[in-house]
Copies of this chain bind each other. A is one copy, B any other.
Amino acid sequence: MSRGLPSAPGAPTLEDVARAAGVSRATVSRVINGTRNVDQKIQELVRQAIASTGYVPNRAARSLVTRRTGTIALVVCGAGEPRGEVFTDPFFGRVAAGVVGLLRTRGVHPVLMLADTDEARAEVLAFLRQGSADGALLVSTHAKDPLPGMLVDARLPAVLFARPAEPLPISYVDLANHTGGVLAADHLVSLGRQQVVTITGPLDLPNSQDRLTGFREAMARHGHAYVPAAAGNFTQDSGEAAMERLLAEHPGLDGVFAANDLMAQGALLALHQHGRRVPEDVALIGFDDSSAALACRPQLTTVRQPVEDMAAEMARLLLSHIDEPDRRATSVIFEPTLVPRRSA
C-alpha cells in the first residue's frame, strides 16, 4: 500500500484509481458511492485498485459538487458567563454525548462553536452560509438569543434544544417541563411535606417558567396555595445563595424543589450548613438527573430529563431537515420521570 500524504499533492485521486483498474473515473465513483449498477467483476477490480493505491476520496472536491459537507455545527449559545463555564456544565456534556452518538452512525461530524457575542453569532452564520456545515444544532442558555431568528431568516436548517422564548418556525426538542414540576410537587406532597419552597432557574427562560408553574399548580391542587420561590441561574453557587435566602425567610421549610441538580447541590450545602438534615428535616428534589445528583450525599431524588436521547433526536431532526429542505418545523417533546433516591 503506497500511501500518499493525506490530501497533499501526490495523493492518489480517482483518476489514478481508474487508471489502475483500467476503467473510467465515473465507474470508480459509482463503485464508491454505490450509485447505479456496476458489474461484479469490475467492482472487484476497482476495489483492488483502491486498496493498492491507498486512495481516499477528497472531501472538499466532493462537497464542491454535492453541496453537502457531512458536518453540522453544534452551537452553544452562552451569554455573559466565562467560557469555561458553558462546556464544563455536565448538561452540555450529555448533549454532546447524545449528538456524537447519533451522528457517528450517519457519518456526520459536529463542529463545536460558541456563540456568546454578536461577532461569534455572525461567524456561526457565515460558517453555515459558506457551506462549511449543512445545518446547526443550538443549545441556548439564555432567553433572548437572536441566533435562532437569524438562522430562520437565512433559511438554514437548524434545530433547537428547548422551545424558543419567541414563537419561531423552527424545529426543537424539549421536555414536558410542566409535567416535571408536577412530578416534583406530587412527590413532595406524598411525603407529607407541609412547608415547601422552590429554587427556580432564570425566569425569562420558558423552561424555568414551565417547571415553576407546573410545580405551583400541582401544589395548589394539593391545597398549598402559595409556594415561595427564589431564582437562581442554574449554577451551584446560585442555588446555595437562593437556599440561604429561602432559609432566612422561611426557617420552618421542610421541602425544596430545585429546578436543576446543580442548584440542588448548592442548596444541599446550605442546608447542611444550617444544620438541617436531608431528607429527615428537609426533603430535596433536583431536576435533570445529571452526574451531580449522584455526587451528592444523600444522592438526589430528581426529575430525570433524558438529555442524551433528546440530543440524539435533535440530531435526527436536523438530518431530516437537511435531507428535505422543505420539511415543516416540528417539535418533539419528551416526558420526564421521577427518579427517587435518598434526598426526598
Does A114 lie at the interface of the complex (its beta carbon under 8 Å from any beta carbon of B)?
A: yes
Are A89's CB and B83's CB within 8 A?
no
Cα(A7)–Cα(B273), bound, Å: 58
Cα(A67)–Cα(B13), bound, Å: 14
8 A Cβ contacts from A92-123 to B: 92-94, 96-97, 100-101, 104, 109-114, 120, 123
Are A111's CB and B109's CB within 8 A?
yes
8 A Cβ contacts from A295-344 to B: 295, 297, 308
Does A126 lie at the interface of the complex (its beta carbon under 8 Å from any beta carbon of B)?
A: yes
Are A84's CB and B93's CB within 8 A?
yes
Among A100, A236, A269, residue most surrounded by chain B Cβ atoms (within 10 Å): A100
Are B86's CB and A97's CB within 8 A?
yes
Q: How many copies does the complex hold?
A: 2
Segment of A56-64, A177-185, A226-234 in the binding face: A56-64
Are B104's CB and A114's CB within 8 A?
yes
- Please count how many residues in chain A sit with their CB below 8 Å of the partner chain's CB atoms: 63
Cα(A60)–Cα(B7), bound, Å: 14
Q: Select A101's contact among B6, B83, B96, B110, beta carbons within 8 Å.
A: B83
Segment of A127-135, A198-206, A207-215, A217-225 in the binding face: A127-135
Cα(A272)–Cα(B295), bound, Å: 14
Q: Would you give the shortest CB distance from A238 to chain B, in whole angstroms?
A: 13
Q: Select A130's contact among B59, B86, B265, beta carbons within 8 Å.
A: B59
Q: Would you give the shortest CB distance from A296 to chain B, in whole angstroms?
A: 9
Chain A positions 41 through 57: 1 when the CB is less than 8 Å from some CB of chain B, otherwise 0: 00000000000000011
Closest to A61 in B: B64
Cα(A104)–Cα(B114), bound, Å: 9
Does A156 lie at the interface of the complex (its beta carbon under 8 Å from any beta carbon of B)?
A: yes
Does A252 lie at the interface of the complex (its beta carbon under 8 Å from any beta carbon of B)?
A: no
With contacts A83-B101, A109-B112, A236-B295 taken as known, whether A132 is within 8 angstroms of B59 at the C-beta atoms is: yes
Q: Would you give the shortest CB distance from A138 to chain B, in whole angstroms?
A: 16
Chain B residues with CB below 8 A from A89, complex form: 93
Are A83's CB and B64's CB within 8 A?
no
Cα(A59)–Cα(B127), bound, Å: 9
Chain B residues with CB below 8 A from A37, complex form: none
Q: Would you give the shortest CB distance from A79 to chain B, in whole angstroms?
A: 15
Cα(A154)–Cα(B270), bound, Å: 54
Cα(A272)–Cα(B269), bound, Å: 14
Are A83's CB and B67's CB within 8 A?
no
Chain A positions 73 through 97: 1 when the CB is less than 8 Å from some CB of chain B, otherwise 0: 0100000000110111110111011
Closest to A131 in B: B7
Chain B residues with CB below 8 A from A63, complex form: 59-60, 63
Chain B residues with CB below 8 A from A111, complex form: 71, 109-112
Does A248 lie at the interface of the complex (its beta carbon under 8 Å from any beta carbon of B)?
A: no
Closest to A126 in B: B56
Are A57's CB and B130's CB within 8 A?
yes
Does A276 lie at the interface of the complex (its beta carbon under 8 Å from any beta carbon of B)?
A: no
Chain A positions 286 through 299: 1 when the CB is less than 8 Å from some CB of chain B, otherwise 0: 00001100110100
